[in-house]
Structure formats: C-alpha cells, structure tokens
Amino acid sequence: MDQKLQYPDSRRSDQEDTYFGVRVPDPYRWLEDDNDPETLNWVEAQNKVTLAYLEGIPYRANVKARLEKLFNYPRYGAPFRNGQHFFYAKNDGLQNQSVYYMQQGLEGTPEVLIDPNHFSPDGTSQLAEFALSKDGKYFAYGISKGGSDWREVHVMEIAGRKTLPDLLKWVKVSDLAWQGNGFYYSRYDAPAPGKELTSSNDDHKVYYHRVGFSQAEDELVYEDKANPQRFHQVMTTEDERFAFLYISDRGKGKVGDALFVRDAAQPGKEWIPLIPEVGDELYYVIDHVGDRILVQTNRNAPNWKVVLIDPKNPGENNWQVVLPERPEPLEAAGTAGGRLFAAYLKDVTTRAYVYGLDGKFENEIALPGLGAATGFAGKRDDTFIFYTFQSFNVPLSIYRYDIATRESTLFRMPEIPHFKPAAYETSQVFYTSKDDGTRVPMFIVHRKGLTLDGNNPALLYGYGGFNNTIAPSFNPLRLALLEQGVVYVSANIRGGAEYGEKWHEAGTKLKKQNVFDDFIAAAEYLIANKYTSPERLAVQGGSNGGLLVGVLANQRPDLVKVVIEQAGVMDMLRFHKFTIGWNWIADYGSSDNEAEFRVLNAYSPIHNIERGRKYPATLITTADHDDRVVPAHSFKYAAELQYAQGGDNPVLIRIDTRSGHGASNTAKSIEQAADIHSFIMWNLGVTPKY
C-alpha cells in the first residue's frame, strides 16, 4: 500500500471550451453523463480500487465496530406541541431513521406517529419536510428516496394513522404550509426520464393542495415564466391568517428575497407586496402582531434587526424597529407565549434573550455553557418551550424554559456509553489571516494533557460559504478520532454567518479567495503553534467545504498530508448547468460573467491541478443520488487528480449507492465514517488502540 496505485483508465478527450478568449480543456466531460455505460464502468472500476485499498487497512473493521458502539445510544429531538399533544423524534441508537412519536401531554404514553424505517427495505428513504394541520387532524410529509432532494409528499389522517391516497410528486425546495383543508407546496415539472438527478431545474411553481384530491386538481398559486431560475415558497402563520410568498433570484446573483402576503381576513387572493423586488437583503417572517408583520431582516443592518411592517403601508419609512441591530449578529428570532425570543452569536457561541412583543427587554436565558442553542419558539399560548444545547464535548441536550418563572431546567440529556466528557477540552483561539489581517476564530478540541510538540495528528474542518455558521456541535463519530489522540479543529472562516452579512459577503464572488486564505492560515497556525505538522495534518470539507479543501490541496499541498473531499463543488465553470446549481451563483458568481470567470478559473479545483505535482493522500466521496452537487464534480476531479499525481500518495474516490448529498441512513453514515477515519489514521500514522 505504500507504492503508487494503479488507477482505472480514464479516457481523456479533446473537449475544450472558450471563455472570453481563454481556451479551457475539459477532457473528462463524458463523465457528466451518469447513465452512460462508459461512466458506469468507470464508477465500478474506481470503487474496486478504493475498496481494495480500504480493505488493506488492518484495523478498518475495528474502527467500524468502535463507531457503532459510540453511536449506539438513544437520541431525541426537542418536543413540539400541537393542541394537547406533544411530538418528538427518537432514534434508539442504530436505527437507520429516527421514529416520530406523539403523546397526550408530557406524561402521556408515547405512540408511534410515523416510522420512516418502513419507507424502504434498505432504510435509505428519509422523512423530509413535514407539517401538522392546525386542527391536528392531518400530517403532511415528504419522503426523500435514496438521499435525493426530490420529495414525494403524502398525507396521513392522524387519528387512525391512515395514509390517504394523496400523492404529490416532483416537489423540491418547498415548505408544506397548511391553510384550511389543504396546504401550499412548491414543485417543478417532471424532468425527462433518465435525467431526474442531473437536468437543470427550472420554472418553480407554487400550488395549493386540498386533502382528498389528486395532484392534477391542485390550484396553481404562483409561477413566473419570465424568470425560470427563481425559487418560490409559501409559509403561513400559526393561526393560518397570513400566507407569505418568498421569491429569490439567486441564479442572477441576488442573495435576498422579495416578500408578498395574503391576508385571509381580507377578500380576494391577490398577493400584496411587502418587499416588491428581489434584492440583496433577506426577510424572515417571525409572526404577526395584530395586523402587522414581525420580520427579521438584514436590510441596512448587516447583523440583523427585527421590525414590524404594516401590509397597508409597507414602505421602509413606516417600519417600526422592535429589536435594533447589535454588534453581535442575530442568529434567529421566534415567538412563544406572548414573548419574542432572540438568539445572538458572540464569537460563534449562542446568547439567548427574551423580550416583549414591543421589543422591551425582559431577561437573558442562562445557557449551560458556551455552545450552540436552538429552538427558541413555540405556540402563542405556550407557557413553556423547549430548546437544545450542544458543544464539542456536550451531546445535544434538551432544556425546558418556563416563560413565567424565567427558569431553564434540564429535560433530557443522553447517556453515552464509553464517553467521558471530562477527558476532553475545547479552546477557542483567534488567528490572523493572510495579507489583510482579518481576525478569524477557531475551535480546537483534544484529549486533556496535550503536548505541543508538533507531533500530534490533527484534522482541520472548514466550510466558509452560503451564510452558514459552523457552530460548536457534538458528533459521537468524531470521538473515535479524539480518543486516539487526534486533535480536531473547526475554523470559522469568512463566507459564513459567524459575524453577520459582512463576514459572509467577504467570502463571496470576487472575494472568494479570502475563504481559502483563511483556511490556509488556520493550517499554518496549527503548525506554527506545534499542535501538529504537515505530515500529521488532515483537512476535511463537504459540499462548499469540498471545494475549500480541493483549493487548499492545489494552492498549498505542502501544508497537509491528507485531504478528505466530500461531495464537493469542484468544477467552478459548469456548476450552474446541473439541477439547482444556478442557485449558487449568488455566492460564487458565474463563468458567464467575464470578471467572475477570471476569479473562478483561477481557483476552480479541477482546472488548477498541475501534472507531476505531489499531492496529499486524497479520499473523495460522492453518491449516485446526489442531485444537489452532482457526482460529475467528484468524478472529473478524481480522474484529473489521478492523472496528474506526481507522488505516491493515493487518490481514491468512494462512490456510494442509494445515498445523496449526505449519507441516507445510519448504517451508511457509519460505513462512510469508518472508511474516512481509517484512511485518515492510516495516512497519518495513527494505530488505534483497539
């Protein structure tokens, strides 16, 4: 296994494209056709090489067994209430899918509402979006098959657990928003046979479905044929009085929304504009207070604020500011029991506060420590709510907050066999990024008693995009690395939401190199401060994070020994041509724009691999049902990197079946983690002690 591998033949064609006078080869264009027999044969041959390599790691089976033990404990979701009943999700440990339960009151006997483990024989079909009708009579839910982003929506009559004949197909990027005897949903027209997982998704439509009727009878609520690459989604308020239509145009580079409203208390079905044009600002409806709408927005407030908007006078000059912008970004806001809850981020950790609906401060919610807390919302007549808290060495725990007494009490904390939280410690450091001196936060997790001698194996994780915050989180699978002395590091690089919209915007389009510079600087910090060394450092990222680690491997292969690239966006010149890839133009820009093309072409992982250069040991993962970042990205990247590799480090691609952008069930998640962990430890020289 120390010799250079013999890879399957990957035919190089003379395909070439010209962008603004620049000729760009694309020799593996044929791999974009996932149904072509040549591609299918290539996939089979690649998996054969990868499996042989992984099976040659002597402790791979032991790693998987260890992961199963660490993952095998009951996990609960926070309860939510509808009428007299509470609903929650529970996984006994190794169930492929969590089961949803309902019970009358908190002391009632739990009954199974729906068990997604019965959706498919292999447990790869998942429960996706779901919504309960206001009267508690119906349960609408979507099913994702094999990890695909496509949904099939069904309706259950709750009293008898009876699944009704209602069946809605080709649903994607959709809420299920109840109003009356039906709900709003969003869908596309059926794609061409054989192209369901790759063809561009255009003409997003909103429909209203009445329970008991066929999909063909559904009412078309909204479409926009003039703008085929827009998203249209509808949500409704708790009392179902208001329906809100969100419109986004990310395919044209806009990061914000337009927002329209229907008021059931008013005659007619016209959509009244609150925010008439799509721009670069976001608007999240929280609730309504009387006739006015409570909205969280970053309009003229990069760190967000909460305002009241009167639908009869929606102009910005008439907005009432309820929560003004603060130095810390507002992560989320919700209402419950006549109060307004607001969760802010302070250096990537949550702070939670309670206000009156008029914005008058009442109290801070005392959280159990520094970590990530979510779920501060509920019903208007709630007297208490549930929220969750977790950190790197604290598993997701559920707390009950009493609105009248202002006290939090622990409701449920999992007990994990074989895990001793006190054996690990977490620190947060701040380092300076390249050139511009940006201060970037980073969490470092390891066993207590770490010696800073530069000899520790380490795994650096990053994402850096799409306004996503990478908050402190618990993952039992990560413990298998930590307990073997691996240092785990999470860098909160630009492109995310850690410090509001300015932090996000600084990692987009023409500024995307900032993200890569931040990540490279994180690796340099770990090496300079002797947490690890280049020969003992691995990096990992998925989706946009896969792009991140691919760029690092091209720009600074000397910094790392191992690269784990998962479902990455690797072809930055053609990503917008598949499924909803055009949606990412708002963050990345487009190769159809000359200035943006120059930047994209300068860092696109596939297009910046140098023949004969020595690249790190690389494991690429993707799956056949990934219709978000289509497998062609990973296929073409693997073929190009294998062709160019000038050193002896392996370049392998692991192609899963019946999985999507992430593992589609528990078994597949553990299997994938076992292969990734084994690959990391083998190439970093770690021999697990089991």
The catalytic residues are: 543, 661
3-state SS, residue 207? strand
Residue 82's alpha-carbon distances to 89, 359, 385, in angstroms, are: 15, 27, 12
Q: What six digits make up the tokens of 485? A: 């002395």
Element (H, E) at 289: strand 283-289
- What are the φ and ψ backbone dihedral angles of 263, each rounded to 5 degrees? -110, 115
Count of C-beta atoms within a 10 Å radius of residue 93: 14
Angstrom distance (rounded) from CA 533 to CA 491: 17
Please state at what angle helix 37-55 crosses helix 632-644, rounded to 10 degrees: 60
* 559 DSSP assignment: G
In Å, how far from its chain's centre is CA 502?
20
Question: Which are the contacts of 299, defined by CB distance < 8 A and separation ≥ 6?
Answer: 281, 283, 316
* Longest Cα–Cα distance in the chain: 75
Beta strand spans in 392-473 (E): 394-402, 407-412, 424-432, 439-447, 458-461
Sheet harboring 361-365: ordered strands across?
Answer: 330-336, 339-346, 349-356, 361-365
The number of helices, as runs of H, and strands, as runs of E, in the chain is 10, 39
Beta bridge partners of 232: 247
Q: How many CA atoms lie within 13 A of 229 on its CB side?
A: 18
Sheet harboring 231-236: ordered strands across?
Answer: 231-236, 242-248, 257-263, 272-275
Count of C-beta atoms within a 10 Å radius of residue 131: 19
Closest CA relative to residue 524, chosen from 396, 652, 429: 429
Question: Which are the contacts of 126, defined by CB distance < 8 A and separation ≥ 6?
Answer: 97, 116, 119, 143, 144, 147, 664, 665
